[in-house]
Structure 1
C-alpha cells in the first residue's frame, strides 16, 4: 500500500487497518446520536417515529413538534457529522500523506451516515441522512457542497418537496466528487453515501411520481392532519 508512511519510514498494514476500523467505529457511533429521536423520546417523551412519516429526521420532527427544540435537533445532527469527519481526517493523516485526509473524510462520513440511518441503540430505525450528509459535503469540499446544497435548495424551494432536493443531493454527490478529485476510492465511498440517501428516499420518489408527496410548509401540522 503505497500511501502508508511514517516519519521513521512506514507503518504496518495491520496498524493502518486498525486505524481505519477505529475511524469507522467512532464515526458509526457518533452517527447513532440521532437528534430527532433523542429530543423527541427523552425530552418530549413522544418518539417522533410514531408520528407523520415515521422518519427520525428533521423534517418529520418539525412537522410534528415544531418549536425551539428543532434547533437542538439540527445542532445534534450537524455536530456529530463534524466530529465524525474530524476523527476520520486525524486517523487517516496518521496512515498516510496529507492527501489521505480527504479519504478519511469520506470514510468517516459513510459510517456516520450508516449510524444515523441504522442506529444500534434505537433498533436500527433512524433518519434519512440529509442534514448529516449535507454537513459531510460541506466538510469535504466547498465545490461539492455547492453542487449538493445548491441543487437541494433550488428544487426544495421551487417544488416544496424537500425529498426531491434530498434525492438530488444523494444522486449528485458521487458525480461532484469525481469531478473534483478523480480518485476511485473516494468515488466508491461517495457512491455508497449517495446510494444510501437515495435508497432511504425510495418511498418519497414513488409518491413524487404519483403526485401524492407532501409539500413542506413552515406551519406545523395539527395532530389530525398527520399521516397515520
Structure 2
C-alpha cells in the first residue's frame, strides 16, 4: 500500500509541476499564446520561432527544471520503500524518479492550468532521461545535435532520440521495469509528434531557423 500511495503522490506532484508549461507562462509576458502561432505547439521550437531567443532560453530552463525537480521529489518519496514481497521482479533504486518524471511529462503535454493543451514534452523528457540514465541522455543529445545540424529538422532529431532511448536502455541496463518505462516515454513522445511525422513524410515540415518570424 505504501508503494501505491507514494507512487501516486510522486506522479501527482510531477504532473502539477509539469503543468506549469514554461512556453505558455513566458508567452504571457509577451502577450503571446504560442499555440495561436506557428506550428501551434506549446514548446521550445515554436517559442523560438514565434517570440525569439530570450524567451526560448527561459523555456529551456523551465522545462528542464520541472523535470529535474519532479524526479528528485519522486526519488526521495520512494527511496526507502521496500519492494520485496510486493513485486517479483527487480525494481531500480531510482524508481521514484520514474513516477515523478512521468508525471512531469504528462503535465507538460496535457497541462491542468492551460486547458490540457500543452507541448510535446521533449525537453522535459530529456531532463528525466538525464536524471535516470545520464550517459544514455548524453548519447541521445549528441545524436539529436548531429541530426538537427545535418537536416535542420528538430522533430526528426527528437523522434530519432525517442526511438533509440528504449533500445539503449535495453542494451545498457537489461532491466524489465526500466525498459518498459523507456518504451512508455518514447511512445508518448512519438504519438505527440504524429503530425510532424506526417509533414516529414510529405516534405512540408518546417526547418529550424534562429530568426523570429514576423
TM over 0.5, shorter chain: yes
Contact 1:147 1:172 in 2 (8 A): no
Which runs of structure 2 are paired with 1:172-183 in the superposition (5 Å)? 172-183=164-175
Structure 1 counterpart of 2:87: none
Contact 1:163 1:204 in 2 (8 A): yes
Query: After the TM superposition, which of the residue ranges 205-214 and 102-111 deviates more from structure 2?
Result: 102-111
- Give 1:58 shift: 0.4
Higher relative contact order, structure no. (Cα contacts within 8 Å, ≥ 6 residues apart): 2
Is 1:27 paired with 2:27?
no
State the distance in 2 between where 1:95 and 1:78 align: 27
Moved over 6 A (4+): none
**CA-to-aligned-CA distance 1:23-80 (integer Å, 9 cap, x gap):** 1101111111111011113x12221111011000000001001042322211111110
Contact 2:77 2:96 in 1 (8 A): yes
**What is the TM-score when the length of structure 2 is the normalising length?**
0.92
Contact 1:160 1:215 in 2 (8 A): yes
Helix, strand or coil for the counterpart of 1:101?
A: coil
Structure 2 counterpart of 1:108: 100
**What is the TM-score when the length of structure 1 is the normalising length?**
0.86
State the distance in 1 between where 2:71 and 2:187 align: 19
Structure 2 counterpart of 1:54: 40
How many residues align? The count is: 207
State the distance in 2 between where 1:202 and 1:68 align: 28
Structure 2 counterpart of 1:167: 159
Q: Which runs of 5+ in 1 are unaligned?
A: 1-13, 223-228
Q: 1:207 aligns with which of 173, 195, 199?
A: 199
Structure 2 counterpart of 1:45: 31
Structure 2 counterpart of 1:221: 213
State the distance in 2 between where 1:220 and 1:22 align: 40
Q: 1:198 aligns with which of 185, 190, 195?
A: 190
Contact 1:90 1:101 in 2 (8 A): no
Helix, strand or coil for the counterpart of 2:143?
A: helix
Structure 1 counterpart of 2:86: none
Q: Which has the larger radius of gyration?
A: 1
Helix, strand or coil for the counterpart of 1:197?
A: helix
